[in-house]
Amino acid sequence: MHEDKARWNERHVTKPMRHEAAPILKKYIEHANIGEALDLACGTGRNTHYLETKGFSVDAVDLSDYALSQIKDTPKITKIETDLDSYDLEENTYDLIINCNYLNRRLMAQMTDSLKDGGLIIFETFIEAHEKPEQGSMNPDYLLKKNELLNAFINLDVIYYEEVDGVNLRGEKNKTASLVAKKHSNV
């Protein structure tokens, strides 16, 4: 864990991410009920801060203490420094879960149960390049397979799903999968 923390702290210092919220979050935020949100692998808080301005109380979770130190201190943001490999999500807790540029399959299995009825997942991360490896330096354990994200949340009402060629936040070519899905409401 300490090696991972040092590596992520270094990455946030030397290769900072943009500060603007993820476009998928901005586009689909109106589908979420205002309330409790979870920003997994939140980094320096670009999505956390956006959610807070929209009225959400946000649990901002990340391993990097440096990244978390960049998130403003407000009563509506709870910073949680933890190793996501051992972190468990509480059931029936969140109105919105956002997961961008991060993959932890163990947590994917917990996300649906962690949503309240009517809760929304916005999930976007990298997939394997099928024609040629564009993400040569990325660990394949952290790349989705084709349609894996869709299949992981097939029991939810899928609002949007797409797999596309794109450019990451650092201008490098990649492939991403994007999903917006809502948990069935029992009302």
> What average pLDDT does the structure give for the chain?
87
Mean pLDDT over 31-58 rounds to 97
Model confidence at 182: pLDDT above 70: yes
| pLDDT per residue as tens digits for the range 6-44 | 665 566 456 656 668 999 999 999 999 999 999 999 999
CA distances, 34 to each of 17, 51, 113, 116, 128 (Å)? 26, 9, 18, 12, 34
Model confidence at 109: pLDDT above 90: no
Residues near 4 by beta carbon (within 8 Å), at least 6 away in sequence: 63, 83
Return the sign of the alpha-carbon dihedral for residues 23, 28, 48, 38.
Answer: negative
pLDDT at residue number 107: 96
Model confidence at 131: pLDDT above 50: no
d(CA 11, CA 34): 32
pLDDT at residue number 21: 94
Check: CB of residue 42 under 8 Å from CB of residue 32.
Answer: no
Predicted confidence band of residue 142 (pLDDT cuts 50, 70, 90): confident
Identify which has the larger pLDDT, 183 or 173.
183
Other C-beta atoms lying within 10 Å of the C-beta of residue 89 = 20
| pLDDT per residue as tens digits for the range 154-164 | 999 999 999 99
Q: Give the chain as a 3 state SS string.
A: CHHHHHHHHHHHHHCCCCCCCCHHHHHHHHHCCCCEEEEECCCCCHHHHHHHHCCCEEEEEECCHHHHHCCCCCCCEEEEECCCCCCCCCCCCEEEEEEECCCCHHHHHHHHHHEEEEEEEEEEEEECCCCCCCCCCCCHHHCECCCHHHHHCCCCEEEEEEEEEEECCCCCEEEEEEEEEECCCCC
Strand partners, 174: 166
Predicted confidence band of residue 128 (pLDDT cuts 50, 70, 90): confident
Mean pLDDT over 101-107 rounds to 93
Q: Are strands 173-182 and 157-167 parallel, antiparallel or unpaired?
A: antiparallel
- pTM confidence score: 0.84
Residue ranges per structural domain of the chain: 2-182
Residue 121's nearest CA partner among 158, 79, 76 is 158
Model confidence at 177: pLDDT above 70: yes
Q: Which amino acid is at 82?
A: T
Mean pLDDT over 127-139 rounds to 58
pLDDT at residue number 114: 98
Q: Which of the listed CATH numbers 4.10.490.10, 3.40.50.720, 3.30.565.10, 3.40.50.150 matches domain 2-182?
A: 3.40.50.150
